[in-house]
Structure 1
């Protein structure tokens, strides 16, 4: 698989998202993330409009429900022709396996390539304190993420979403060929906002990330293309 830098299109409307993408001369070279805010505002039509520009799409809805519900939802999402989708790793092996089955059925029905299934481990906004005191998890963060990743792989997921801080543990403990998507990416000159476990693009790449997601440091920047280029350079030159 390629190692893309994904731009998070965290906008309230499709118009805002498409206006943002118009700043790029070659949008067909971009991979973008469409999350809950934009998808819930616009529905599946936003997928078609972004696909028409040639972008690859990471549809990040983090499905988390009983296995049959997730299977049927993934069947529908596969029909949209997106490239990556997510479930919550905490949903368990049966739910993840059902998600994989739904994607396979939907992709076959549409005659499309099956989307890459990623299981979300612990959000990058979760600290060790929250993990212990609110989720009542006694494992250290790295061990918890590893446990979720191992479960996801056995259930048929193609990879996981994790922070950069767990990459070394995952790469040392998991077999080759698993996909690691890392959000919470910030260059030193950019603020961390509500993220807790962050790192630079170069750090993520050197520690085994397969892809990264960058949002506000690019989308909220007055100089969009320049900001994107800074992050891409740090990512590709690592």
Structure 2
């Protein structure tokens, strides 16, 4: 790894953007998993007033430009944003920090898990859920013991896609966390920086590393899904 360090700016090694990218994508996927599956379960339970609006809001980050998402996040958690003063009092600063990159990536990847989880939960045989309720199971037990095990494949697929998408997040991260080498510069931002500075060798290396990582994630997801199918068959 040391022989790659000289081509990176400001003495920042290749490991820095790689590790930051994995950390940001991992945490974003972790938070989005619970939020996305919970929202999907709530929406998939059945028709209710305002269901369409909630579904549209959950899916909105899929269609909004990343810069628009970044601007909304600045209005929400920026220093002068809606939650900015409260966060400052708590000693939390998300602007130009890796934690801000996590927040941005979480918002971006959330719809991928939400959409996959909702489709998977709605495809579950509802007669099995009704049977569990008839036997006295609570809604929480029905979800954990019946719905979730039957829908795990779709949820898992959405989770892995969310992780891969989180590794490539760019626009919202740039707006909220900035592009600070060694602090907030992920692989996507490092590629942009190298391209802007005309460093083709560095850009090519970073593109290759990113491609290998994303391909590895997809292959690992397929392998885990195959193992899961064998386990449950």
Q: TM-score, normalised by structure 2?
A: 0.23
Q: If each structure's strand is expressed as a fraction of its own residues, which one has the higher value?
A: 1
TM-score, scaled to structure 1: 0.22
Structure having the higher Rg: 2
